[in-house]
């Protein structure tokens, strides 16, 4: 059936369309290049005065994988505090900080999101992660395989094998774990924690392996680049949350030696040591560095006030912060020597100096990084705040008056130490469309979404244009998924499933001999059982795979 | 004014959440309005009138007549007024209760008085497990108020209890007072194994020698003058808790759990 979206104002940064009134035609789940000649649409939506954007893409949100489930289990009160009652269409589910799969999928769709990526898929946990994401309705999903503290990589690097072997292992990991990118968390630090190190700076040697975090970042960012994987190495840098960690963040950027690198939740890595309390914003330095380095992209990991739970693979830093747990319970654990995990519930308070400054630092970063194609809107759900706070965050970016009102309410000492009040920038709808649609699609290599051009999947969100951007983005008028209306006026009207987005760089299968030996010697399962096949994804897990192209190997 | 009465028509097979039916929640509503309130039966929503015969008009004194053990959450969060259950109550009776009085003539299910911080619960029959305890995910059980049980109580009485009084006329099950932080538990019958395990502070007042973990220190028999005050405070007119004072102030005393600070005390009348 031909569907016409008539007269909406389009925001399609991928094609430079900024608020032009145009008609869109959809058929068979795709956007058509132009109106088919002489054909009457089966269904026409009059969207005069409405905002039309591609479905939003969240490139960093912890919605699946082991630690989210640990958080859900550890915080039953979080599940009880917010319960979605069952409707004829949707299932019951709850949770504010660590929502159930159902609640997360419905709420994402109700905010106009159609694709979301779990950034920390331990290869050994990939099966569980994909199962959870398959259980998350309404969304296409994908994951980043976590390497960098896994014993095999560290062993290979310590042996001094060539880059080519590392590349093959990285590519094999993407295949085996059915992932779309590679993430590294506290490079080497999770492993170092198990050797009793409680900190590991960028140029500090790992207590067991003759390696530094800088070596790991350089090797992996090069591997990802040489394999032609579109998404740069996704880096959770060293020293998360430590005052003065901005130097480590800058060192991590430079460790990539010009290869593309994405620094995630950079707000947690932008802390200086100035002021009476030796805690200050380094957003100026970091933003300047990002502006100057075209190979660097970031997402912010904005803090929003309220109760949440921090879930991270960074055992070292989670352990260090466990005494801040609120409510007072936490866990840290090793996951099969692949990496680790720490879950620490936390409440960000606006009258707390540190929390208030964290909030301001995130916003400073948003406003001081010039290129919206290289800064992404995230709260590192649920670490900075649950993803449900995105509409409010968008308002903070778009409405300076509102931002300054909020600034006046936070801890005054923190407000005085922040330059936020002097930043006049207000994001435009076009820039919001860049950072929530066009840019994530581009940086992940998803040619089929994030834009409204010919051949794109008809994942489209239509918003009412209201004076308050928070209201606009909290309740879309319509959300289309693959050409079907799934949300009307902010409520799910049709439940759909999604697929898993992956990339498949080529590699030399001979690497399996080496990996297989390691599995036989050390691992709890065999390599053949470790790999997840396409058939298992489609039939067993229930989330069929869509393969996105890689660049040819070694070509920029 | 007659008590607003909910008479269960037929025992339901799924559990029914009655947490909204408190004097606070129903204030100002007529029997007719109460009849139309929604209730979940399994995954179906029905009207209260489909399950209960509703009569009376005094929402400050609610009467529930039920022989079913499936009516959960009776008196949840109530701050005033009274709820009387003629028959049995399900799980979570008086959950997070802050004031007012709940009385059940028969048995109550598990987690009665969990998270309660004020008011009274009187259970005429037996109480289930986790009486006055914390529910999963919470770090505090009962935080105030008073629970009286005329029959027996199940396992884990007062788990994570923080304050308040639990009085049991009959026996208590295993792990009585486990992980207790403070407060008072009185058991006139016997207690099961691992009484007081992981107890930090608080008082267990017993009449039979308990089965304590090895991490409790026997302090011998002592004359504790404060018991006269405590028993006066615990005593209620009428019923089994009236004559506590006559048991005297001479008790055998254990302190523990030493693995957890060891400031809890287990007192046993000889």
Confidence (pLDDT) at A555: 58
Three-state SS annotation for A40-107: CCCEEEECCCCEEEECEEECCCCCCCHHHHHHHHHCHHHHHHCEECCCCCCCCEECCCCCCHHHHHHH
- Is the residue at B231 inside a domain? yes
Mean pLDDT of A397-417: 97
B193 assigned to some structural domain: yes
Residue in A77, A78, A86 nearest the CB of B43: A86
Same domain, B184 and B230: yes
Mutate to test the interface with B, among A85, A89, A102 (most CBs of B within 10 A): A85
Q: Residue A101 — very low, low, confident or very high, per pLDDT cuts 50/70/90?
A: very high
Q: Which residues in chain A have Cβ-Cβ distances shorter than 8 Å to B138?
A: 77
Q: What ranges make up the beta strands (E) of A195-338?
A: 233-236, 261-263, 271-272, 280-281, 296-299, 306-312, 331-335
Closest-CA distance of chain A to residue B38, Å: 13
| Same domain (yes/no): B101, B220 | yes
pLDDT tens for residues B60-109? Answer: 999 999 999 999 999 999 999 999 999 999 999 999 999 999 999 999 99
Total structural domains within chain B: 2
Domain ranges of chain A: 3-54+449-492, 144-435, 500-548
pTM: 0.92
- The verdict on A278 touching B (C-beta cutoff 8 Å) is no
Q: Are B80 and B166 found together in one domain?
A: yes
**pLDDT score, position A33:** 86
Mean pLDDT of A485-503: 96
Between chains, do A76 and B137 touch, taking CB under 8 Å as contact? yes
CB contact under 8 A, A76 and B139: no
Same domain, B195 and B92: yes
Percent of chain B at pLDDT exceeding 70: 100
Cβ within 8 Å, pair A77-B137: yes
In a domain, B65, yes or no: no
**Distance (Å, rounded) from C-alpha A21 to C-alpha A261?**
36
- Domain assignment of residue B101, yes or no: yes
Same domain for B81 and B167, yes or no, is: yes
Residue B202's domain is classified under what CATH number? Answer: 2.160.20.60
Q: Considering the domain boundaries, does residue B66 fall inside one?
A: no
Residue B68 counted as domain residue: no
Domain of residue B32, residue span: 1-60
Statement to judge: residues B40 and B95 lie in one domain: no
ipTM of the shown complex: 0.81
Average pLDDT, chain A: 95
> Pick from A75, A85, A86: which is nearest to B137 by CB?
A75
Residues B43 and B20 in one domain: yes
Residues B143 and B200 grouped into a single domain: yes
Task: Count how many residues are written for chain A.
Answer: 556
What does the DSSP 8-state code read for residue A162?
Answer: -
SS3 content of chain A, % helix, strand, coil (to 5): 40, 20, 40
* Same-domain pairing of B49 and B127: no
Q: Do A328 and B139 touch (CB under 8 A)?
A: yes
B-chain CB neighbours of A78 within 8 Å are 137
Question: CATH homologous superfamily of domain A3-54+449-492?
Answer: Urease, subunit C, domain 1 (2.30.40.10)
Q: Are residues B48 and B132 in the same domain?
A: no
Phi, psi for residue B80 in degrees, rounded to 5: -160, 175
For B239-252, write each residue's pLDDT tens digit.
899 889 899 999 99
**pLDDT score at A315:** 95
Span A248-252, mean pLDDT? Answer: 97
Find where tokens 């309410």 sit. Answer: A409
Model confidence over B165-182: pLDDT tens digits? 999 999 999 999 999 999
Asked whether residue B47 falls in the same domain as residue B90, the answer is no
Note whether residue B67 is domain-resident.
Answer: no
Same domain, B56 and B103: no
């Amino acid at each position: 059936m031909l569907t016409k979206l008539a007269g909406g104002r389009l925001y399609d940064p991928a094609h430079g369309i900024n608020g032009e009134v145009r008609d869109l035609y959809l058929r068979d789940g795709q956007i058509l290049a132009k109106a088919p000649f002489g054909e009457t649409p089966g269904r026409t939506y009059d969207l005069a005065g409405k905002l039309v954007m591609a479905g939003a893409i969240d490139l960093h949100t912890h919605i699946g994988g082991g630690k989210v489930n640990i958080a859900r289990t550890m915080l039953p009160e979080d599940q009880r505090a917010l319960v979605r009652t069952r409707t004829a269409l949707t299932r019951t589910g709850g949770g504010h900080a660590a929502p159930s799969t159902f609640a997360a999928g419905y709420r994402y769709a109700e905010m106009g999101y159609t694709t979301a990526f779990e950034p920390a898929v331990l290869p050994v946990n990939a099966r569980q992660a994909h199962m959870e994401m398959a259980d998350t309705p309404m969304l296409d999903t994908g994951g980043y395989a976590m390497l960098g503290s896994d014993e095999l990589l560290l062993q290979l690097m310590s042996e001094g094998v060539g880059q080519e072997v590392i590349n093959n292992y990285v590519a094999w990991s993407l295949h085996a774990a059915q992932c779309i990118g590679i993430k590294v968390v506290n490079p080497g630090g999770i492993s170092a924690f198990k050797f009793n190190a409680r900190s590991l700076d960028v140029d500090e040697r790992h207590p067991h392996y003759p390696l530094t975090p800088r070596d790991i970042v350089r090797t992996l960012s090069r591997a990802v680049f040489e394999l032609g994987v579109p998404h740069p190495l996704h880096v959770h840098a060293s020293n998360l949350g430590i005052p003065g960690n901005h130097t480590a963040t800058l060192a991590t950027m430079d460790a990539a030696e010009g290869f593309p690198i994405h620094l995630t939740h950079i707000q947690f890595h932008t802390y200086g040591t100035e002021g009476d309390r030796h805690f200050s914003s380094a957003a100026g330095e970091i933003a300047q560095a990002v502006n100057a380095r075209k190979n660097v992209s970031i997402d912010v990991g904005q803090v929003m006030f309220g109760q949440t739970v921090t879930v991270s693979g960074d055992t070292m830093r989670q352990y260090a912060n466990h005494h801040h747990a609120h409510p007072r319970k936490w866990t840290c654990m090793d996951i099969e020597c692949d990496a680790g995990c720490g879950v620490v519930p936390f409440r960000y308070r606006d009258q707390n100096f540190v929390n208030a400054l964290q909030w301001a630092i995130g916003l400073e970063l948003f406003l001081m990084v010039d290129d919206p194609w290289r800064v992404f809107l995230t709260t590192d759900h649920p670490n900075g705040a649950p993803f449900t706070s995105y509409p409010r965050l968008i308002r903070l970016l778009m409405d300076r008056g509102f931002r300054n009102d909020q600034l006046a309410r936070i801890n005054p000492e923190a407000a005085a130490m922040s330059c936020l009040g002097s930043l006049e920038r207000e994001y435009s709808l076009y820039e919001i469309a860049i950072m929530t649609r066009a840019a994530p699609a581009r940086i992940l290599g998803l040619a089929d979404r994030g834009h409204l051009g010919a051949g794109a999947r008809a994942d489209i969100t239509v918003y009412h244009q209201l004076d308050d951007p928070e209201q606009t983005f909290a309740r879309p008028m319509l959300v289309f998924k693959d050409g079907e209306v799934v949300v009307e006026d902010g409520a799910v009207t049709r439940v759909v499933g999604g697929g898993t987005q992956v990339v498949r760089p080529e590699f030399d299968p001979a690497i399996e001999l080496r990996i297989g030996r390691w599995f036989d010697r050390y691992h709890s399962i065999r390599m053949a059982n470790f790999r997840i096949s396409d058939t298992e994804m489609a039939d067993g897990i229930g989330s069929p795979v869509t393969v996105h192209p890689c660049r040819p190997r070694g070509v920029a | 004014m007659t008590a607003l009465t909910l008479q269960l028509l037929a025992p339901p097979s799924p559990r029914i959440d009655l947490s909204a039916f408190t004097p606070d929640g129903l204030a100002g509503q007529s029997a007719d309005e109460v009849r139309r309130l929604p209730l979940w039966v399994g995954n179906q929503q029905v009207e209260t009138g489909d399950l209960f015969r509703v009569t009376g008009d005094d929402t400050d004194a609610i009467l529930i007549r039920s022989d079913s053990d499936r009516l959960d959450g009776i008196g949840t969060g109530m701050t005033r007024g009274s709820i009387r259950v003629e028959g049995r109550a399900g799980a979570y009776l008086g959950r997070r209760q802050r004031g007012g009085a709940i009385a059940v003539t028969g048995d109550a299910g598990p987690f009665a008085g969990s998270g309660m911080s004020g008011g009274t619960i009187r259970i005429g029959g037996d109480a289930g497990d986790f009486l006055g305890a914390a529910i999963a995910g919470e770090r505090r059980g009962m935080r105030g108020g008073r629970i009286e049980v005329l029959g027996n109580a199940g396992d884990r009485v007062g788990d994570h209890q923080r304050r308040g009084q639990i009085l049991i006329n009959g026996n208590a099950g295993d792990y009585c007072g486990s992980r207790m932080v403070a407060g008072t538990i009185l058991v006139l019958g016997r207690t099961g194994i691992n009484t007081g395990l992981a107890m930090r502070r608080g008082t267990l007042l017993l009449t039979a020698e308990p089965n304590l973990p090895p991490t409790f220190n026997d302090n011998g028999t002592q004359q504790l003058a404060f018991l006269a005050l405590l028993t006066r405070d615990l005593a209620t007119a009428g019923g089994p808790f009236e004559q506590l004072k006559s048991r005297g102030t001479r008790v055998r005393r254990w302190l523990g759990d030493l693995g957890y600070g060891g400031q809890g005390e287990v007192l046993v009348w000889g």
